[in-house]
């Protein structure tokens, strides 16, 4: 699925002055844009719709994923056994590894085709929410008198009240109460963000195919 896009809003840095007695944040604050989108009501509803609408394809992909894992396991075990042997035949190991890799790539393509409709629906729903993310952030920043906004992992220490992620989610809920899950026929991910502010992407849902285990010891 699409990767999370970093959001960093910075202006003139002021000393951290967080009031623990209220929700007011002054100066520096932290926010997780991906978390704000993922916790929105619109995304929760859309994800439920997607998992219901595409249940057949998702179930097929999950079943096929398990079958592929079982098909690959003997090959991986044989490779690992051969690699641990004294003076292993490197040419044979390379051939075995190539066979496993080829089958893995074929499996990824197969699973990708099975989950493609759900993946597109997921990306479309997230893009609609993310299109209003910058607006939500700016509204909260102004309301909380924030002059510097950073990610939580960029801060050495913050008070709990410095985290404005929940406030951004609340604003997103107001701006985007619902979203559709059926993209237009010619829609491609990223179209709504062209020329706009960067958008966040939700965590991968159950529609994302997992990769079979790669052999070790190559």
pLDDT, one tens digit per residue, over 134-163 is 999 999 999 999 999 999 998 888 888 899
Domains of the chain by start residue, with CATH = 9-54+118-175 (3.30.910.20)
Measured N-to-C along each axis, helices 90-130 and 55-84 cross at an angle, to the nearest 10 degrees, of 150
pLDDT tens-digit map of 93-132: 999 999 999 999 999 999 999 999 999 999 999 999 999 9
E-state strands within the chain? 9-10, 17-18, 25-30, 146-150
Report d(CA 151, CA 6) in Å as an integer: 9
pLDDT tens-digit map of 23-61: 445 689 999 999 999 999 999 999 999 999 999 999 999
The predicted pLDDT at position 189 comes to 87
Spatial CB neighbours of 100, under 8 Å, sequence gap ≥ 6: 72, 75, 76, 79, 214, 215
Average pLDDT, the chain: 81
Report d(CA 57, CA 48) in Å as an integer: 15
DSSP state of 153: G
Q: Are strands 25-30 and 17-18 parallel, antiparallel or unpaired?
A: antiparallel
Report d(CA 14, CA 214) in Å as an integer: 49
Report d(CA 72, CA 55) in Å as an integer: 26
Note the pTM of the prediction, 2 decimals. 0.70
């Amino acid at each position: 699925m699409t990767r999370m896009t970093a959001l960093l809003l910075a202006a003139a840095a002021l000393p951290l002055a967080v009031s623990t007695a209220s929700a007011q944040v002054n100066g520096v604050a932290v926010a997780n844009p991906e978390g704000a989108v993922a916790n929105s009501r619109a995304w929760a509803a859309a994800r439920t719709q997607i998992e219901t609408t595409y249940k057949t394809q998702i179930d097929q992909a999950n079943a096929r994923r398990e079958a592929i894992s079982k098909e690959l396991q003997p090959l991986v075990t044989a490779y690992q056994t051969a690699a641990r042997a004294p003076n292993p035949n490197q040419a044979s190991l390379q051939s075995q590894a190539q066979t496993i890799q080829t089958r893995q790539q074929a499996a990824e393509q197969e699973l990708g085709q099975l989950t493609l409709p759900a993946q597109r629906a997921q990306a479309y729903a997230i893009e609609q929410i993310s299109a209003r993310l910058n607006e939500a952030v700016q509204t909260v920043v102004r309301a909380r008198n924030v002059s510097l906004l950073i990610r939580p992992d960029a801060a050495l220490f913050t008070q709990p009240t410095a985290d404005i992620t929940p406030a951004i989610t609340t604003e997103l809920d107001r701006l985007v109460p619902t979203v559709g899950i059926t993209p237009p026929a010619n829609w491609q991910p990223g179209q709504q963000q062209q020329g706009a502010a960067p958008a966040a992407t939700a965590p991968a849902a159950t529609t994302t195919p997992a990769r079979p285990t790669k052999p070790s010891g190559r």
